[in-house]
Amino acid sequence: MNTQSYLKGFKDYLKLERSLSKHSIDAYLNDVDKLIQYYLSIDKELILNKVELQDLREFITWLNEIGMQSNT
Protein backbone atom coordinates (compact mmCIF):
# COMPACT_ATOMS: atom_id res chain seq x y z
CA MET A 1 0.00 0.00 0.00
CA ASN A 2 1.40 3.42 -0.90
CA THR A 3 1.61 6.51 1.28
CA GLN A 4 -1.38 8.21 -0.36
CA SER A 5 -3.58 5.20 0.37
CA TYR A 6 -2.54 5.24 4.02
CA LEU A 7 -3.18 8.98 4.27
CA LYS A 8 -6.65 8.63 2.76
CA GLY A 9 -7.46 5.79 5.14
CA PHE A 10 -6.15 7.78 8.10
CA LYS A 11 -8.19 10.82 7.08
CA ASP A 12 -11.32 8.69 6.69
CA TYR A 13 -10.69 7.11 10.10
CA LEU A 14 -10.31 10.50 11.78
CA LYS A 15 -13.48 11.79 10.14
CA LEU A 16 -15.75 8.76 10.38
CA GLU A 17 -14.55 6.84 13.42
CA ARG A 18 -13.26 9.66 15.59
CA SER A 19 -15.75 12.31 14.36
CA LEU A 20 -13.07 14.99 14.37
CA SER A 21 -13.55 18.43 12.91
CA LYS A 22 -11.92 19.45 9.64
CA HIS A 23 -9.51 21.64 11.60
CA SER A 24 -8.40 18.72 13.79
CA ILE A 25 -8.05 16.41 10.78
CA ASP A 26 -5.94 19.03 9.01
CA ALA A 27 -3.70 19.30 12.09
CA TYR A 28 -3.16 15.53 12.17
CA LEU A 29 -2.39 15.43 8.45
CA ASN A 30 -0.01 18.36 8.85
CA ASP A 31 1.89 16.34 11.46
CA VAL A 32 2.10 13.41 9.04
CA ASP A 33 3.41 15.79 6.36
CA LYS A 34 6.13 16.87 8.80
CA LEU A 35 7.02 13.21 9.36
CA ILE A 36 7.33 12.77 5.59
CA GLN A 37 9.58 15.86 5.42
CA TYR A 38 11.73 14.41 8.19
CA TYR A 39 12.21 11.14 6.33
CA LEU A 40 13.12 13.05 3.17
CA SER A 41 15.65 15.13 5.11
CA ILE A 42 17.49 12.02 6.32
CA ASP A 43 17.25 10.18 2.98
CA LYS A 44 15.30 7.33 4.51
CA GLU A 45 12.36 5.66 2.80
CA LEU A 46 9.14 6.17 4.72
CA ILE A 47 7.10 3.00 5.03
CA LEU A 48 4.22 4.04 7.26
CA ASN A 49 3.38 0.59 8.56
CA LYS A 50 7.04 0.06 9.52
CA VAL A 51 7.57 3.21 11.62
CA GLU A 52 8.87 2.30 15.06
CA LEU A 53 8.96 4.13 18.38
CA GLN A 54 12.64 5.05 17.94
CA ASP A 55 11.81 6.63 14.57
CA LEU A 56 9.19 8.81 16.26
CA ARG A 57 11.61 9.80 19.02
CA GLU A 58 14.14 10.88 16.41
CA PHE A 59 11.38 12.75 14.56
CA ILE A 60 10.45 14.68 17.73
CA THR A 61 14.12 15.50 18.29
CA TRP A 62 14.29 16.79 14.70
CA LEU A 63 11.19 18.94 15.27
CA ASN A 64 12.82 20.47 18.34
CA GLU A 65 16.04 21.09 16.43
CA ILE A 66 14.24 22.99 13.68
CA GLY A 67 12.30 25.00 16.24
CA MET A 68 8.97 23.23 16.26
CA GLN A 69 7.31 21.94 19.37
CA SER A 70 5.46 18.67 19.80
CA ASN A 71 2.15 18.78 21.65
CA THR A 72 2.41 15.53 23.56
Length of the chain as a residue count: 72
Provide the whole-model pTM. 0.78
How much is the average pLDDT of 36-63?
91
Instruction: Provide long-range contacts, Cβ within 8 A and 24+ apart, for 35-44.
Output: 35/59, 36/3, 38/62, 38/63
Q: What is the 3-state secondary structure (H, E, C) of the chain?
A: CCHHHHHHHHHHHHHHHCCCCHHHHHHHHHHHHHHHHHHHHCCCCCCHHHCCHHHHHHHHHHHHHCCCCCCC
Instruction: Kindly indicate the confidence band of residue 4, based on its pLDDT and cuts at 50, 70 and 90.
Output: confident
Is pLDDT above 80 for 69?
A: no
